[in-house]
Amino acid sequence: MKKVTYVTGNWAKIASARHALEPLGFEVDNVKMETPEIQADDVSDVAKYSAKWAAEELKRPVLKNDSGLYVNALKGFPGVYTHYAQDTIGEDGLLTLMKGIEDRSAYFKEAIAYCEPGKDPIVFEGFTKGSIALEKSGTYGWSWDFVFIPEGEKQTLGCFEDEKRWEFWSQDTYKELAEYLESINK
C-alpha cells in the first residue's frame, strides 16, 4: 500500500482525502506542521510551494492544501488573503464591505498540491460556488461558514451540522488526485 502524508490538522480535509484515496490502495496519514506561505496571486501557487517544502522536509510524498474565498463584486477579495481577512475584518467586516451590493456571488477555490521529494508538485483545483448572505447565521462550523450560502441553498453553511456541511464542498480535487495517483502507480 502506497502512503501519502497530508500536511494539515483539519479533520475534514483528512476525511476527504481518505474517502477518495484509500479505496484505491493509498494510506493517508497526516502531519500537522507549519509550512512557509509565499505571497502569491493564486492559492495554487501557495499550495505548490508549501507542498514542495514539506516533501523535502519530511522526505516523503505529501499533500498540501490552500484555499480562498473569492467574492466577485470585490474583484476576488479576499482570495489568497482569506486567512488574513478572517483574522482582521472577519465576517462582520466582509458584510460591511458588501453593504448595498446586489451581486453577492462568491466561490471557494481549493488547491491541493501533491509532491514527492525531488519532484515538482502537481496541483488539483476545485470550486464551491455560492453567495454571501446579508447577515451572519448558523451555529455550526467556523469563520466564513456563517456568511457563505452554497449554490442551491437558502441558508449559510453555518446552519448545517458537520456531516452535512462537508457534503457541500467540491470533491473534484480529490477525485482528480486519486485518478492521477492511480495512473502513476500502475
120 assigned to active site: no
Exposure string of 2-40, with b = 16+ CB inside 10 Å and e = fewer, is eebbbbbeeeebbebbbebbeeeebebebeeeebeeeee
Please give the C-alpha separations between residue 135 and each of 104, 130, 147, 150, in angstroms, as whole numbers: 12, 15, 7, 15
Q: Residue 120, exposed/middle/buried by CB under 10 A (0-12, 13-18, 19+)? A: exposed
Look up residue 140 and give its three cell numbers: 455550526
Please state, in angstroms and rounded to a whole number, the distance separating the CA atoms of residues 111 and 101.
Answer: 28
Identified catalytic residue from 41, 45, 66, 87: 66
The single-letter code of the amino acid at 131 is S
Contacts of 106 (CB under 8 A, 6+ apart): 69, 70, 71, 72, 129, 130, 131, 132, 148
Catalytic residues: 66
